[in-house]
Amino acid sequence: MDAPKNLFVTRPALPPLSEFIPLVEKIWASRIVTNFGPYHVQFIDGLRQYLGVEHISLVTNATVGLMLASRALGLTGEVITTPFSFVATGHALLWAGLKPVFVDINPNTLNIDANRIEAAITPLTSGIMAVHCYGRPCDVEAIEDIAKRHNLRVIYDAAHAFGIQHKGRSVLNFGDHAVLSFHATKVFNTLEGGAIVSRSVEAKLRIDRMINYGIVDEQTVESTGFNAKMSELTAALGTVQLRHIDSYIEQRRQIDVRYRQLLVNIPGLHFVHPPEVAPSNYYALPILIGAEHHRSRDELYFRLREHNVFARRYFYPLVSDFPMYAEPQGREPVMPFARSVASRVLCLPMFPDLTEGEQQRIADVIRS
C-alpha cells in the first residue's frame, strides 16, 4: 500500500497560473522589473483598500521590514519584546543593534502581557516590539498608553495579522509601524515578501528611502539604508493574490470549524483560540496538550510524523532560549507562562486546500 500523503503544517495558496502569466508577459515586454514600477504601485493601492490602511511600503520579507522599521525609528539600547514568537522577531532587533528584553506572555492570548511591560522598562529602553501571535491582536490600547507615558516607540510584528480588525479598524493602524509577512507560509503570500505600515506620510517616506539605500535623489543619500525592494514579479503576484484572499480565508474558516468538531471532547486537548474569537484570518490551528491527554505534546508530534502528518511546535523553543539571546547565569528572564505554553503547543495542518478526508486522517491519529 502507498504511504499516506505528506500533510505539512501549511501549504501556500496559489492562484491559477493562467491569471499570473499575462502579468509576467507584460513585465517581460516592459523591462521594468523592479525599483517601484507599475505593479508595485498597483499592489500598494490594492493593499491599502483591502486592509484599510493609509501608508504602506513593500519589502522583500518581514524580517528585514522589522529591522528597517527599528532603524527608521532611531531605536537604541533595549527593546521590550515577547519570547513566544518566530526567531525572526528577536533576530531583527539584534540586526538593528538592539538588545531584546523578553517579557512573559498572557496565557490566554499568547501575546506579550502588557501588565508586565512597565516592570521591564529601564533608562535604556527605547521601544516595544510586540507580536500579534497567530493573528490575535495584542492589547494595543494598554501598549499605546505605556508607550505614551514612557516616550517609547512601538512596532508590531504583524507577520500573522493580515486582514485582522480590532474594534472596527485594521489592527495594522496601531503602533508607529506594523510589519506584515507575505511569506509562502502566511495567509496572504507572494512567495516571499512583506510590507511596513506607517502612521504618517513622513514616516512612510523615511521607510521608502530606508528600503532603497537611503537615497533621496541622484546626489543625496540621507541614511544608511538597505536594499529591501520588492520586485515587479512579486508585486504582480500580490495583485493576483488579492483577488483570491477572501476565498482563502473562508476555506480556512471552514477547516477551523471542522477541526473543532473532529477534536471535540478529547481529554487534555485544548484549542488556543475559543471559536467565538472573531474576526480571525485562521492563520494557524494551535492546540495545547495538557497533562490529562494520553500522550505528551512531543509524543503526539512524533506519532503524527509516523503517519506523515507534519504538525509543528510553533513556537518552541522560546526565542530567548537560543544561544545568541543567552543572559549570564542568574539573570535569565523568568517567564513561566511562555515556557509552559511552548512546552504544550502544537500547530496542526492548516491551509485552504486541506480536504475533509485529510482532516479526518489527522483526527484519527490524534484519537488513536
Contact call for residues 35 and 235 (beta carbons, < 8 A) = no
Interacting residue with ligand T4K among 55, 153, 177, 183 (CB under 6 A): 183
Closest CB 218 distance from ligand T4K, rounded Å: 31
Among 9, 67, 79, 255, binds ligand T4K (CB under 6 A): 9
Shortest gap between Cβ of 133 and ligand T4K (angstroms)? 7
Contact predicate 210/71, CB 8 Å: yes
Q: Is 314 in the site for ligand T4K (CB under 6 A)?
A: yes
Closest listed residue to residue 126, CA positions, set 105, 159, 106, 155: 155
> Which of 89/106 has CB closer to ligand T4K?
89
- Judged by CB under 6 A, the residue of 12, 38, 107, 268 near ligand T4K is 12
How far apart (Å, rounded) are the C-alpha atoms in residues 343 and 86?
15
CB of 24 to ligand T4K, least distance (A): 19
Q: How far is the CB of 342 from ligand T4K (least distance, A)?
A: 14
Task: Give the residue with the Cβ less far from ligand T4K, 22 or 317.
Answer: 317
Tell me which residues in 37-96 interact with ligand T4K (CB under 6 A).
61-63, 85-86, 88-89
Angstrom distances, CA of residue 22 to CA of 37, 224, 240, 242: 16, 37, 11, 16
Check residue 159 for interaction with ligand T4K (CB under 6 A): yes
Site for ligand T4K in 89-128 (CB under 6 A): 89
Give the Cα separation of 124 and 127 in Å (integer): 9
Please count the helices (runs of H) and the strands (runs of E) in the chain: 11, 16
Shortest Å, Cβ 193 to ligand T4K? 7
Cβ proximity to ligand T4K: between 143 and 293 the closer is 143
Q: Which residues make Cβ contacts (< 8 Å) with residue 84, sequence separation at least 6?
A: 105, 110, 131, 133, 315, 318, 319, 338, 341, 342
- Region from 8-16, 50-58, 219-227, 288-296 binding ligand T4K, contact rule CB under 6 A: 8-16
Touching ligand T4K, residues 229-288 (CB under 6 A): none
Strand ranges, E, within 76-221: 78-81, 99-102, 125-131, 153-157, 165-166, 169-170, 177-181, 194-198, 215-217, 220-221
**With CB under 6 A, what is the number of residues at the site for ligand T4K?**
23
Residues 341, 278: contact at Cβ < 8 Å? no
Least CB distance from residue 347 to ligand T4K, whole Å? 9
Amino acid at 313: R
Q: What are phi and psi of 132, to 5 degrees?
A: -80, 85
Shortest distance (Å) from residue 12 CB to ligand T4K: 5
Q: Taking CA 324 as the corner, what is the angle to CA 321 and CA 329, rounded to the nearest 5 degrees?
A: 65
Residue number with CB closer to ligand T4K (47 or 88): 88
Backbone phi, psi, residue 181, to 5°: -110, 135
Residues that bind ligand T4K in the complex, under the rule CB under 6 A: 8-12, 61-63, 85-86, 88-89, 131, 157, 159-160, 181, 183-185, 194, 310, 314
